[in-house]
Amino acid sequence: MIQRDYLIVGGGVGAASVCDSLRQYDPKGTVTLVSNEFYLPYQRPPLSKSVLRDHAVNFERLLERTDDWYKKKGIELRLGTYVREFNIERRLAVLENGQTIEFRKACLATGSRARRPQVAGANLGNVVYLRGYRDALAIREILLSEKHVVIVGSGFLGAEVASSLLNSGAKLSLLSRDKVIWQELLDPETAQWLTDLYQEAGIQLLLNENLNGFEGKTVIKNIQTKSGLRFPAGLAVVAIGTEPNLQLVTNTPLSSLSGCPVNEYLETDEKGIYAVGDIALYPDRIYGGAKRITNVGMARLQGLIAGGNMTGRKRQKFEIVPSCSSQVLGMQFDFVGDFSTPHLLADVEGSRDKRNFIARYRRGDTLVAAVLCNRNSGDLENVQEEVKNSVLIRAKK
């Protein structure tokens, strides 16, 4: 039996961040990271942007840490390896090859998987669910021969993919049940402005349409909508959200319908077992309620905090105004605050037409969120502080 002080299950940015923090506060504790991916932990956001746009992008640039870094820090990597059993009571993890790791403390950073539509043909060839580096390579390969491309979904990922493929030479269509692009992120006027820009860029928009199925014998040939539309597609990129990877802890206290519940220290009810990243359902000490937010910045920060907490030498609560960014149609967007409910009105500073603005969203007198378009880092920091102060004032009332 292998004995370790710390076990990290997962191979994304959150897992790498836990390793980083563990070594900051405990340079000598034994650490093993087990990931079912064959790659070192890497950043996924570029997959829908620079990796699709630029065939010269080097995978090494995506790595969160190099192989040498893990070696120098004395962190054992088990890549391309599944954990088939995770025993909470006995603090054991059984690997697919039968080896058993006995751990003192563990962190689950298993991430999420692409949600698949429950329609006919969802598993046909050339229907791609962009989640990993190999998926991005597959899209690039298919584009060499197929020129009718449909992106299914108009959220962050769908909008980024459509934007990145604009100069690919393919005829692009974007299919979504939403009425506008980024419907759940923007106020109606700003969302319509962005949607108009996509149309002007030459992308065929099939909005307010529900997917009915993919047609083809082995490879996709056509797409059908529930309204009766039927059109050709040699490649479909499906981006309709994600689901947390909780299969390892199904039917245990570490799993719920909404994620893996943790406290403000990112520790589960099972003492010594933590969770970070896409699976972590944490108490939101600023906005209230429980949140599970899936972006690389949150995963990285949660990993740093959880790693320190695991060592016991740095005890810190996870308390943050969430933020993330996106790049589409040559514009930089930064999102700050709570977007869990629709924002109907915006106070706009600057100009949408000039592609330079800040849209502030309020609930009553409280500034709860903001979207920045092509603004500098100073503006972003100011808005982050503005939102946090406004929400905290409300919380104290």
Q: For residue 306, what are the contacts with CB-CB under 8 A and spacing of at least 6?
A: 18, 21, 107, 265, 266, 267, 274, 275, 276
Are 91 and 131 within one domain? Answer: no
Are 126 and 183 within one domain? Answer: yes
Are 127 and 100 within one domain? Answer: no
Are 133 and 221 within one domain? Answer: yes
Are 143 and 230 within one domain? Answer: yes
Compute the Cα dihedral for 288, 294, 297, 299 and give only its sign: positive
Are 45 and 104 within one domain? Answer: yes
Are 381 and 234 within one domain? Answer: no
Are 153 and 212 within one domain? Answer: yes
Domain end, chosen from 238, 260, 292, is at 238
Residue 325 lies in a domain: no
Are 196 and 280 within one domain? Answer: no
Are 220 and 282 within one domain? Answer: no
Give the total number of structural domains in the chain: 3
pLDDT tens for the chain, 397 residues long, are 899 999 999 999 999 999 999 999 999 999 999 999 999 999 999 999 999 998 778 899 999 999 999 999 999 999 999 999 999 999 999 999 999 999 999 999 999 999 999 999 999 999 999 999 999 999 999 999 999 999 999 999 999 999 999 999 999 999 999 999 999 999 999 999 999 999 999 999 999 999 999 999 999 999 999 999 999 999 999 999 999 999 999 999 999 999 999 999 999 999 999 999 999 999 998 888 999 999 999 999 999 999 999 999 989 999 999 999 999 999 999 999 999 888 989 999 999 999 999 999 999 889 999 999 999 999 999 999 999 999 887 666 5
Are 78 and 106 within one domain? Answer: yes
Distance separating alpha carbons of residues 177 and 172, to the nearest angstrom: 17
Are 107 and 122 within one domain? Answer: no
CATH number, domain of 266, equals: 3.50.50.60
Residue-range definition of the domain harbouring residue 380: 330-396
Q: What is the DSSP string of 301-364?
A: HHHHHHHHHHHTSS--------EEEEEETTEEEEEEE--SS-----EEEEETTTTEEEEEEEET
Strands across the sheet containing 366-373: 323-328, 331-337, 366-373, 356-363, 347-351
Contacts 24+ apart (CB under 8 A), 291-296: 291/322, 291/340, 292/244, 292/258, 292/259, 293/322, 294/112, 294/242, 295/322, 295/324, 296/13, 296/43, 296/44, 296/45, 296/324
